[in-house]
Structure 1
Amino acid sequence: MSLINPLNNTQSATGQPQQTSAVTPQASQATTQSSASTEQTSSTGNPFLDSLRLPAENSIPEPNSQELSQEDFFSLLSQQLSMQDPFKPVDNDQMIQQMASFSTVDGISKLNEEIVNLNALTTSSQALQASGLVGQKVLIPSDTGYVSAEEPNIKAIVSTPEAIKDLTVRVEDETGQLISTFAVDGSAGGNVDITWDGMGKNGEPVAEGSYTLKVTGNVDGKSEELPVSTYAHVTSVSLGTAATGAILNLRGVGGIKISDVLAVSES
């Protein structure tokens, strides 16, 4: 009886031995390289087909300026001269007009920059001059003044269209409540000075805060409310902008443009 090695041969049902197939390492490496090469994108040799393929990375172009510079203008002018019909050249007058127009636009742009710089310089100079108002009082077109420990009273000016013998002054707080009432002689007419001593109806000093002075008088037989301007203490000066100019910061009142100041007083 003969024995068959199962590791080398396999006997079929008919009794004929069958050989088993083995995969060599060289064949396995070749298969791996073949599959890897199919995954990579190779060039077809056709520029049109290669251009249709999507790029590996999406590149975002940098934004370009929409303004034409002088170099862009001369580049366009050079293209125009190179593409013109030699039998119908561009008229010299038209070319000079185009160059003059561009020079004018460029000059206006530079002039605008100089004006901006001049405005900034003017604003700084105005703020420096306005700094001399710190510590003084300015007259502003407002009927509201501020009472504090440093300034226990309110000074104002009422403008009258004519001589009015009796002017009635009503002092109200921020809520509109009546604090005091007194009379002023306005027979001189014009701008009449008013001073409220900061005392309430009970004869005691009022609390620190903002108070409104309302003045009425008889004009042509009718009682009318007259415009009032009050004095405010300047505590500091802000630089502001070219449009607003220097800003005066007033105690208890807020900021006001220096152009809105009506008068300046030492006390």
Structure 2
Amino acid sequence: MASTFDSTLTSLGINASSTAAANAAKTSSTSSSLGASDFLKLMTAQLNNQDPFSPTDNTQMVAQLAQISSTSGIAEMGTTLKAIQDKLGATSASDALAYVGRTVLTEGSSAYGRSAGGLAGAVELDKDATDVTVSIRDANGQTLNTLSLGTQKAGTASYDWNGKTASGDDAGTGPFTVSVDAANGGEAVTSRNLVWAPVAAVSVPASGSPVLTVPGIGQVAVSAVRQVG
């Protein structure tokens, strides 16, 4: 590292054996890259140690000043892009408040029936499955109906239950407990049940992302929402 820096000083016309240049080399050798302040130190050391009978060429000075400007500009651009990235990736309070009164599709096992009866949801599969089933139970844990979705590709598979029990009776409005089972040729496939639920409130902490309050599910991060209805 030190030898590389010494060669850089030499190419700039700096006498590395002088005290000022040696101090500059010692300081800069601890860094893996040169910033704008490093360039200024090098130029100052160069001017302090240049041969008065053979001063640094004006063209070289202009080129070095251009390097300082370019380095500073790149650093400022990086800071600006980081701020833009953080802004785009974050959810503002006003964005989160817009969820209130809407329904969201998110992971959960509890679901309420629609006013017209039945409910809709989805199964999220990590891999392809040859057999996917959705079981719907009442508050007492009794199975009301089982939906067979058959073969499904990895991803999200939607389902819609008409609100009837296996015997054809009206199952009511719930709440219902929904569970899913998925397998591929007898081998279990990791899956998650997604339910539609209304957003009752939004919490906006002093730090961190807003959190949605969803009846029957609890606290849901905005990032956990798969779809908004």
Q: Compute the TM-score of the two structures, normalised by the length of structure 2.
A: 0.51
Gaps of 5+ in 1: 1-124
Would you say 1:256 and 2:224 are equivalent positions? Answer: no
Alignment partner for residue 141 of structure 1, among 96, 107, 117?
Answer: 107
Would you say 1:185 and 2:150 are equivalent positions? Answer: yes
Report what 1:241 is aligned to. Answer: 205
Post-superposition offset of 1:214:
1.6
Paired with 1:206 and 1:132, the residues of 2 have a C-alpha distance of: 32
Paired with 1:190 and 1:155, the residues of 2 have a C-alpha distance of: 17
Paired with 2:147 and 2:220, the residues of 1 have a C-alpha distance of: 32
Where 1:241 maps in the other structure, the secondary structure is coil
Count of residue correspondences:
139
Distance 1:221 1:248, change over 3 A: same
Post-superposition offset of 1:242:
2.3
Report what 2:129 is aligned to. Answer: 164
Paired with 1:196 and 1:256, the residues of 2 have a C-alpha distance of: 25
Bigger radius of gyration among the two: 1
Contact 1:148 1:209 in 2 (8 A): no
Instruction: Give the aligned CA root-mean-square deviation in angstroms.
Output: 2.7
> Alignment identity in percent?
20
Task: Read off the aligned partner of 1:259 and give its amino acid letter.
Answer: V
Report what 1:207 is aligned to. Answer: 172
Post-superposition offset of 1:243:
4.9
Q: Compute the TM-score of the two structures, normalised by the length of structure 1.
A: 0.44
Alignment partner for residue 231 of structure 1, among 196, 200, 212?
Answer: 196
Gaps of 5+ in 2: 1-90
Post-superposition offset of 1:171:
0.8
Report what 2:141 is aligned to. Answer: 176
Paired with 2:162 and 2:224, the residues of 1 have a C-alpha distance of: 24
Contact 1:218 1:224 in 2 (8 A): yes
Paired with 2:196 and 2:208, the residues of 1 have a C-alpha distance of: 21
Post-superposition offset of 1:240:
4.0
Post-superposition offset of 1:182:
2.0
- 1:208-249 C-alpha deviation (Å, 9 max, x unpaired): 222122222323523567321212122x33344325653423
Where 2:98 maps in the other structure, the secondary structure is helix
